[in-house]
Amino acid sequence: MYQEILQELLLVTIHNPSLILKKALMGLAPHYRKVAFFGFFTNLMVLAPSWYMLEVYDRVIFSRNTNTLLMLTVMVVFIYLIMESLERVRRSMLQQSAAELDQSLNSKLFNAAFAARLNAADFPAQRVFTDYRSLREMLASPALIGMMDIPFILIFIIAIFLIHSSLGYLTLGGLVIQTVIASLNQMRVQPALQEANQHALAAQRYFGNIQQYAEVVRAMGMQAALETRWQDKQQGFLDHQAQASEIAGKYAAYSKFLQITQTSMVLGLGCYLAINQSLVNGAAMMIVASILAARVLAPFSQFIAQWRNLANALQAYERLSDLLEQHPAAQPGMELPAPSGQITVENLSYALADNPREPLLRNMQFRVAPGEVLLVTGPSASGKTTLSKALVGLLQPSTGKVRLDGVDVYQWDKEELGQHLGYLPQEIELLDGTIAENICRFGTPDVEQLQAVIELLKLQAWISTLPDGLETRIGHEGHLLSGGRRQLVGLARALYGKPAIVVLDEPNANLDEASEQRLQQAVYQLKTQNTTFVIISHLQGIKEIADTMMVMSKGQILRYGKPDEVIASLQQASKEARRKV
């Protein structure tokens, strides 16, 4: 059992392995081989106290030679120093292996968690790094050293057999019982821990959803009711964890009882053999055998005591494996030229994975030429926001393609494409940092481009009133700014660097009339510089500068064409509907 668990931790064998994680952990194998190699010598040196005791009884007590005692003492202290030095080297190797694992996996885990969060809004991204910490701590913990030392108990068993075969068989019997205890502990604790972790994750996810809307919850007095629901989920975690702890504690008590009893049993049998003069080297050997027998069972006791951490590490490994397998790092492709701004949508449909029969977008097909402005309107839940996400490559179409200059936007390297793309989502998503950092997308600021977008949106007067100007921090999600200011910073970020394509989803949702006019002027100015715009809005001013207008309904294109023609067509359809009534 020990070997199976250790192999899983070191990836010698694993069910459904992630190649990424497997390669990262297999890269640590040289360190663990050295830890095991030095472990052979440290476990040999553990025999030093028994050797010292034997020599003192055999040589010093009878000879009364203090010089011999001094030399033996110096030798055993020297062995202790070497043993402790090797143990420090082993611990240092584990820490070094953990540092190498960080270098190998940190970036991959960040990107995989980010991708998973994009695919599922309720994905508990924080759990990824909690899992990684559990795995990392176990791979660098003294408990792992103890597990790796279990095979070396053969040294102690051989030494006990050399003292007397009866003592050896008694020790083996205790070892078999200890192995059974460890196996039963694994079989009974593992399911309870898995259930506890499932409930803990559910409670964590539920609390995260509540926390996201903390202001609404507090304002409308929903906190008590939601706390009750959270308590139900949390109680499931506490119950199963208590069950697992009770089982583990019971088997740990069995293991400790066996270890203590075994020591006394070996001592008692050794005394009996000494009385009958069956011990070759005299009565001192019964004490040596007792010490060695306790050493045989100690690793198993430690293993059982650490079982919860081991089980958590294994479960964390499985979740990380699945995550990295489902979201591997994108392979660098051929570098593409900057897009000119042409957008081509070909038979685009999109449905959620858990509801494929009701697509959010249906067979959409249109084209936007470079420098054109497309105005998208329609009632709520018509698919406008879903379309905006598909246009910037956030969603993989169920069928069809969105192409920029003939290239599939979903497959385009986002780090490469991002500098040529501007995007303002319906919910403004600002990050903790300064105004300048948010506008410049947390990259190296281009002072000229930064000043250009500030002038474009006429933000100079507002920024001059701030205590630190562009270096003013805006807090988590920009909570230190009003809704309108957040919208303007988001717009400045989308327009920073004069991107070739800009997609804006309800860009005027929080703007006053003066800010709306500045937005319209900015769109018109960039349009003259050949920037392509797709704007989801009901702004009358945008209609005046739009080249085409799309009206959506139930995920489909209801009308598409010149804005005046589309509006005239809608008015005609409305009149006909009223006449029929």
User: Tens of pLDDT along 63-99?
Assistant: 788 888 888 889 989 988 998 888 888 888 888 888 8
- Give every residue of the chain whose pLDDT is below 50, as ranges: 1-18
Per the listing, tokens 């470079």 go with 370
Q: Which amino acid is at 557?
A: I
Give the predicted TM-score (pTM) of the model.
0.66
Distance CA 466, CA 435 (A): 10
CB 350 within 8 A of CB 397: yes
> What DSSP string runs through 86-151?
HHHHHHHHHHHHHHHHHHHHHHHHHHHHHHHHHH-TT--HHHHHHHHHHHHHHHTSHHHHHHHTGG
Q: Which residues pair with 61 in a beta bridge?
A: none
Distance CA 551, CA 12 (A): 58
CB 494 within 8 A of CB 420: no
Distance CA 333, CA 342 (A): 21
Read off the tokens for 346: 């070909």
Which strand (E) or helix (H) includes residue 404? strand 399-404
50 Cβ contact list (under 8 Å, min separation 6): 159, 288, 291, 292
Read off the tokens for 402: 């969105």
Domain 2-326, CATH class in plain words:
mainly alpha
CA atoms within 13 A on the CB side of 524: 11
Closest CA to 164 of 300, 262, 282: 282
Q: Which amino acid is at 193?
A: L
196 Cβ contact list (under 8 Å, min separation 6): 237, 240, 241, 243, 244
CB 38 within 8 A of CB 85: no
pLDDT of amino acid 241: 76
Distance CA 300, CA 574 (A): 81
Q: Which residues pair with 399 in a beta bridge?
A: 349
Distance CA 411, CA 293 (A): 63
Domains 2-326 and 343-580 belong to one CATH topology: no
pLDDT of amino acid 9: 45
pLDDT of amino acid 6: 44
Report the SS3 class of residue 346. Answer: strand
Quick one: DSSP state of residue 338? Answer: P
Domain spans in the chain, listed from the N-terminal domain onward:
2-326, 343-580
Closest CA to 5 of 242, 253, 187, 244: 187
114 Cβ contact list (under 8 Å, min separation 6): 125
pLDDT of amino acid 262: 82
> What DSSP string runs through 75-90?
HHHHHHHHHHHHHHHH
Which strand (E) or helix (H) includes residue 360? none
515 Cβ contact list (under 8 Å, min separation 6): 484, 487, 488, 508
pLDDT of amino acid 16: 41
Give the residue ranges of DSSP H helices in 307-394.
307-326, 384-391
Give the residue ranges of DSSP H helices in 276-359.
284-305, 307-326
Distance CA 235, CA 243 (A): 12
Distance CA 324, CA 17 (A): 10
Q: Sheet containing 556-561: give its strands across.
A: 421-424, 501-505, 532-536, 373-377, 548-553, 556-561
Report the SS3 class of residue 296. Answer: helix
Per the listing, tokens 């500098």 go with 419
CB 534 within 8 A of CB 364: no
Angle separating helix axes 284-305 and 223-275, nearest 10 degrees: 160
Give the residue ranges of DSSP H helices in 408-474.
414-417, 435-439, 447-456, 460-464
Dihedral sign, CA of 198, 212, 426, 445? negative
pLDDT of amino acid 307: 67
What is the C-alpha end-to-end distance of the chain, expressed in Å? 78
CA atoms within 13 A on the CB side of 126: 7
* Superfamily of segment(s) 343-580: P-loop containing nucleotide triphosphate hydrolases (3.40.50.300)
